[in-house]
Structure 1
Amino acid sequence: MDDAGAERPRRTILLLEDEMLPALIVEGILSDAGYDVVGPVPNVEEALALLRGARVDAALLDLNIQGTFSYDVGERCEELGIPWGVTTGYEAQSQQLSARDIPVLMKPFTDEQLLAMVADLLDR
Structure 2
Amino acid sequence: MRVLIVEDEMTIAFLIEDMLEDLGHQVVAVAMRLSEAVEVARQVEADLAILDINLDGHVSFPVADILAERAIPFAFATGYGALGLEGAYRERPVLAKPFLREHLAALIAKACGS
Same fold, TM-score > 0.5, yes or no = yes
- 1:100 to partner: Cα distance: 2.9
How many residue pairs match? The answer is: 113
What secondary structure does 2:24 align onto? coil
1:46 to 14, 36, 43: 36
SS of the residue aligned with 2:45?
coil
1:45 Cα deviation (Å)? 1.5
In 2, Cα distance between equivalents of 1:77 and 1:40: 15
Pick one of 98, 106, 110 that aligns with 1:120: 110
TM-score (norm 1): 0.82
Distance 1:26 1:98, change over 3 A: farther
Pair 1:37–1:99, CA change in 2 (3 A):
closer
How many percent of aligned residue pairs carry the same amino acid? 35
1:93 aligns with 2:100: no
Structure 1 runs (4+) deviating above 2 angstroms are 96-100
1:83 maps onto 2:73 in alignment: yes
- Alignment partner of 2:97 out of 76, 86, 107: 107
Partner of 1:13: 3
Letter paired with 1:56: A
What value does the CA root-mean-square deviation take over the aligned residues?
Answer: 1.9
Secondary structure of 1:100's aligned partner: helix
Determine if the alignment matches structure 1 residue 60 to structure 2 residue 47: no
Assess if the C-alpha contact under 8 Å between 2:2 and 2:48 holds in 1.
yes
* CA separation of 1:78 and 1:89: change in aligned 2, threshold 3 A: same
* Structure-1 residue corresponding to 2:22: 32
Q: Tell me which amino acid in the other structure corresponds to 2:84.
A: Q
Q: The residue matched to 2:8 in structure 1 has which SS?
A: coil
Point out where structure 2 has 5 or more consecutive residues left out of the alignment.
Answer: none
